[in-house]
Structures are given as structure tokens and as C-alpha cells.
Amino acid sequence: MPDDPSEKVVEPGGRERRGKVGDVPDAMHRRYYTDDRGGPGRGFYVDATVVRPAFRDHGHRLTADRSDPNAIRDMTEIARHRGWLIVETRGSEEFRREVWLAGRHAGLEVRGYQPTERDLQELDRRRERRERGELRRELQQERREERREGAEDTLAAARTRREDRRGAAQMRVVEAVVRSRITDDESQRRVLDRARSRIADWLERGATFEPAVQGRRHAPERQRGR
């Protein structure tokens, strides 16, 4: 079945002041070629020689003529960049599903698609992958800082700072797990206080921590009736 040419991501109400044509993140300017030919709106092209744009920018709405997940992800990033807290999607079911996943992953409320249980599971997995990546990048940055500092300071001082950072990283993982599994604030505080005390005691005794990367489990997003 061919893609619906009316596939859209729209800011409800169509307020032009919230959607200036060409107002996109800097990364989009580097990623796409653009021009105003070939139809209404500004076309965003993945290559200088292609004829069909990945999507078109009309200011208060973004349109595509096919369900390309990469283009849809960038369309939702543009919506977030413009401050659209709520977006409405129209078109084929495949397109609307991908907009819902990309939009919810970006923190937007998405109207126009009713997710299935498997869609909710997929969203949860995407969030986990993002958080694992963020923790991994943070630890990599800490290691780079350790290498720079180690060149200036003694090995013993550098080792102390490294373990302090790894202890802090370990505590962030513990906090993520506790906050996802314990909803009561007072219970969270008691468990986290005990964990901080125990990690501090281990560090004082000279314990070492291996870098820990653990995704935080999200409570599944509840499917609400419209």
C-alpha cells in the first residue's frame, strides 16, 4: 500500500508564531540540503542530488510523503525545538505509530494515534537504550578527565579521584533503580541514605568500583482511552 501523501506532524491550532519556516536545530542545517522548490513549504533533502525531500517545513506543520523513521525522528526534534509541547499526527497507521514513538521519546504529547501494548513496550526499550547511552557517555567523559588529571597529579591522588567518581556513578545507578521501584518519598530517602553511607564506608576502606552502566527501568506508560 503506498504511503499517504497527507502524512503530517502538526502543532494543534496552527499558530504561525510557534512555527517559523527554517527554524530548526543547528544539526539539521548540517544534515540536510534545503530549498523552496518542488511544492509548498521548504524541502529538506538528505543528498544534493535527490529529487524527493525527506520532509517539508510549512511553519506550523511538517509533512512527508513516506514513513521514513529517520525523517520522522528529525521532524519530532524540530517540533520540540520550536516549543510544541503537543503535536497531532495524521496519515497512515505506520507513519502515525512512528510519530507517536519518536514524539513520546522526545517528551512530547502526541495526538492522533492509539498505542498498542507492544508500542508501549517499544517506547520503554527506547528509553532504556537512551539512558544506558547517557550513562556510558558520562563515564567516558569522566575517564577522559581522569587521564588529563593523572598527567598532572600523583598516581595516588588520581586514583582517589577516580574511585570517588566511580562511587558517585554507582550511586546514580542505585538512585535510578530505587526511584523506579519505590514510589513513596520517605522510603526512597531511607534506602538512598543507607546506600550513600555504605558506599562512603567502602571508599574509606579502600574499595574500588568497576564502571557500572545500567538502564533505568521505567514504569510502563499507561494506555489511556481518548
44 near 32, Cβ under 8 Å?
yes
Task: State the pLDDT confidence band at 36, using cuts at 50, 70 and 90.
Answer: very high
pLDDT in tens, 51-73: 999 999 999 899 998 889 999 99
In this prediction, residue 186 carries a pLDDT of 82
Residues whose CB falls within 8 Å of the CB of residue 169, separated by 6 or more in sequence, listed in order: 135, 138, 139, 142, 209, 211, 212
In whole angstroms, give the CA distance from residue 99 to residue 78: 12
Burial 153-168 (b: 16+ CB within 10 A, else e): eeeeebeeebbebbbe
> Does the pLDDT value for residue 93 go beyond 90?
yes
What global pTM score does this model have?
0.56
At residue 13, the pLDDT reads 61
pLDDT tens for each residue of 179-222: 778 878 888 788 888 877 877 776 666 666 565 544 444 445 55
pLDDT at 142 over 50: yes
pLDDT, tens only, 99-125: 999 999 989 999 999 999 999 999 999
Q: What is the mean pLDDT of the chain?
A: 79
